[in-house]
Chain A
Amino acid sequence: MPRSKKTVDDEQDSVRLSAIDEDILTVLLGRELYGLEILDELNPDRPIPLRFSSLYPALNRLELKGLVDWKWGDEMDESGGARRKYYKVTGLGAKTLRSVQEYRMALMLRANGGGLGGAVGA
């Protein structure tokens, strides 16, 4: 039975994103990456570099909220036979991220508009 629009909206409304969560979702949008690659993408421009110890709790949080999903990679010789997890954004994750980005964009436009308006008014 398909879920009503209200239920989906409620689910989306209840999802809250921290700054780290948002960064990770942005990096993962449209591609599959493993932990070290996520750090490589995030850290060059980040004022406080992320470590594995911050990344894994964030990924676990995002997974439990249904915003990211993962699959096992192949066994690698260079990692001693251990497998990597490849993470990707789910539909809900993409939707949530988009709504947060739209909100930020609207906020920025409003702030710029307000600034100009103030300048004109003065």
Chain B
Amino acid sequence: MKPEDKKCLKQIWLGKILILTGTIGIIITSTIVDVSVALNLYTSISQRSDIRKYSQICPTQSPISTLCNVFEEFITISEKLRKEDVYQLLLIEFLAIGTSFALMIYAFPFSLNSHKSYPLSWSVHLLLPEETIAELMALKRRRQKQNLPQWKLNFELTTEVLLLLWAIHIQVRFQNLSLPPSKKRNID
């Protein structure tokens, strides 16, 4: 492979890694935020129910009852503060998701357009295995030799790419669930 092709492929892989990092970022951030929100709510609910239990047991004018009322007020105030914390956490979550999304959107065209001199089909390297790229390129050359109109050529290649994406990323994965694992090959 030519050095410039290798460089292009490296950039494509960088794009892939960025996309992957963005996606993992979204998942981790969402999980952390959701767990912390759930813990906050659980703690406040359990504390409030405890205080209410004590205040019901104590006589109305007793100092303990007054103390319970003070505690309940304190809990109410802290709940308000927690709600603000929750809003802050949600804001952080939205920001994280937004950033990851922006990163993904940025990474994609960056990896595709890094080398304008390469044909667009190089961009498919991000999504399809090497052998399918080789076959698609060979098909493209063949159709070009047949002097097919450009729109027809583009339509055919786009259809093939879309069908291959479906076949390789979904159909084959489902199919592999019911098949034995790949055996070690010694043909290479």
**A residues in contact (CB < 8 Å) with B:** 34-36, 51-54, 56-57, 60-61, 63-66, 69-73, 75-76, 78-85
Contacts and interface: CB of A to CB of B under 8 A. Distances in A.
Interface size bracket, B side: 35 or more
A65 to B, nearest CB: 7
The 9 A-B residue pairs whose C-beta atoms are closest, nearest first, are A53-B163, A79-B134, A82-B134, A79-B137, A53-B167, A85-B131, A82-B133, A64-B179, A35-B135
Contacts of B132: 35, 52, 56
Interface stretch (B12-20, B77-85, B168-176): B168-176
B179 A57 contact: no
A47 B187 CA distance: 34
A73 B131 CA distance: 9
Given A65-B180, A81-B1, A60 B160 contact: no
A54 B176 contact: no
B9 to A, nearest CB: 9
Interface of B: 1-2, 5, 118-119, 121-122, 125, 130-139, 141-142, 160, 163-164, 166-168, 171-172, 175-176, 179-183, 185, 187-188
A78 B121 CA distance: 13
Contacts of A53: 160, 163-164, 166-167, 171
Describe A's contact surface by its main secondary structure: mixed
Given A51-B163, A53-B167, A57-B167, A69 B134 contact: no
Given A57-B172, A85-B131, A64 B1 contact: no
A36 B176 contact: no
16 contacts: A34-B131, A51-B160, A57-B175, A63-B182, A65-B180, A70-B185, A73-B134, A79-B138, A80-B118, A80-B119, A80-B121, A80-B122, A80-B134, A81-B5, A82-B137, A84-B131
